[in-house]
Amino acid sequence: MAAVQDDAGMDRGELKKHIHLARDGTVQVAFAIGPNGEAVLQMHRRKPGRTLEKELKDGSPESKNHRWGTLRMDSDDPKLARFVINKPGVLAAFGDWPVGVTILDR
Residue 51: per-residue pLDDT? 92
Mean pLDDT of 79-100: 66
d(CA 23, CA 19): 7
CA distances from 38 to 22, 45, 75 (A): 23, 23, 29
Cα 24–Cα 26–Cα 23 angle in degrees, nearest 5 = 30
- 29 forms bridges with which residues in the sheet? 43, 69
User: What's the mean pLDDT in 51-76?
Assistant: 89
pLDDT band, residue 2 (cuts 50/70/90):
very low
Name the burial class of residue 22, with classes exposed (0-12), middle (13-18) and buried (19+) by CB atoms within 10 angstroms of its CB. buried
Element (H, E) at 66: strand 64-73
What is the rounded average pLDDT of the residues 3-28?
76
Task: Please state, in angstroms and rounded to a whole number, the distance separating the CA atoms of residues 40 and 79.
Answer: 21
Ranges 9-18, 47-56, 95-104: which has the least confidence:
95-104
Q: What is the mean pLDDT of residues 79-104?
A: 63
Q: Is the Cβ–Cβ distance between 33 and 91 less than 8 Å?
A: no
Question: Where do the domains of the chain lie?
Answer: 12-94
Residue 5 has pLDDT above 50, yes or no: no
Max Cα separation, the chain?
Answer: 45
